[in-house]
Structure formats: structure tokens, C-alpha cells
Amino acid sequence: MARPSRRDHIIDVAIVLFCEHGFHATGVDKIMRTAQVSKKTLYNHFRSKDELILAALQLYDGRFRNNFMKDVEALGATPQARLLAIFDAAETWFNSQNFFGCMFVNVVGEYSDPTLPMRAISRNFKQMIHRYILELCEKSDAKNPEILADEMALLFEGAIVTAQISGTAAGAKTAKAIAKQLLANHL
């Protein structure tokens, strides 16, 4: 496997630090020390901390969605099973050492201006997750897939926030039990 480029290494380090400590609390100096790069190297790749944040969000978006969807697909053979597997995959994520909540919810919490590009990336990420859930709802032959997708997405988001605040993965099991009822009501 090829060694990541210096730029990718900086982004990987920034993702970990942003997730663990937040965007505002993670300074450029901490990123440079942890990545073991000079200020010149960092600024050769990123004109500003905001540009680094955008690169981190974009990379994390692709990685997270791809891995999450692969996990869901592996855990469920049918669209209905996959809708429930969302919460099994979430439970695994919540129990991981690097779970610090949703990076996209966290960025919205730290940056209040809705016109900022990091907010747009976060919105786009959440919309793509919703579209994935909607596709599963449509394939499951739900009576009203749009409403079921809205309910399932809200349940998923609630489980994430609950896990982040409570520090436990128990909300994933509760959310899955509710999802079973929702699914039964919509089929």
C-alpha cells in the first residue's frame, strides 16, 4: 500500500484532532506538531485553517459514507434488513474508540453562519445519508417511502446525538427497536 502524501497525512491528522477536540479548540500549531510538519509545509498545502477544515470534511464524508454503507450492506441482505442494519452499523461506530459524535453535526455546532462552506458540506452529507435511507425505503416497498425515510433518518440522527451525549451505544439498540415498529407500520 502506498504511503499517503504529505497533504493526505496532514488531513488525516486534522480529522482525528477535529473529531476529538473540536474545530475551534484545535489550533494550527497542534496540527503541525501532531503531523510533524512545519508551518511552511502546512501552508504550502492549505492557505488557511478553514481550507484544511473543508478538505478534512470532504475526505471524511467520502470515507464515512462508503464504509458505513458497506457495513450496512454486509449486515443486511434485503432492503428491510438493511434499514435495521443501519442501527447495527451505528452501534459498532458508537462503540469504536474514535467515536466523538458526528463530525458534521459538530461543525454546525461550532460555525453558526449558515452561509459558510463547511455548513454546506455538512448539509450535503446529511442529505446524502437521507437519500441512501430513502433508496432503502423505496426498495422495501414501503407504503410511503418518503415519510418512512424521514422517520428513519431522524431516528438515526437521534441515536448519534444520544450516543455522543451519553457516552454509550445503548441508544442504537433502542433506535433499532423503534425502527422495527416504524418499518412494520409502513409495510
**Structural domains of the chain ordered from first start:** 6-186 (1.10.357.10)
pLDDT tens digits along 159-185: 999 999 999 999 999 999 999 999 999
pLDDT at 142: 93
Q: For residue 41, how far is the Cα from the chain centroid?
A: 28
Q: Low-confidence residues of the chain, pLDDT below 50? A: none
Helix intervals (H) in 22-166: 28-35, 39-45, 49-75, 79-94, 103-110, 117-139, 145-166
Distance between CA 47 and CA 76 in Å, rounded?
43
8 A C-beta contact, residue 88 and residue 74: no
pLDDT at 98: 86
DSSP, collapsed to helix, strand or coil, labels residue 134 as helix
Which three three-digit cell numbers place residue 19?
473529531
Give, for 16, the enclosing helix (H) or strand (E).
helix 6-21
Distance between CA 90 and CA 92 in Å, rounded?
5
pTM of the model: 0.91
pLDDT at 76: 96
The torsion of the CA quartet 47, 52, 54, 57, rounded to 10 degrees, works out to 170
pLDDT at 1: 60
Which three three-digit cell numbers place residue 159?
441515536
Owner of C-alpha cell 417511502: 145
Q: What's the Cα-to-Cα distance from 91 to each of 4, 94, 140, rounded to whole Å?
A: 29, 5, 22
pLDDT at 2: 67
Distance between CA 36 and CA 60 in Å, rounded?
21
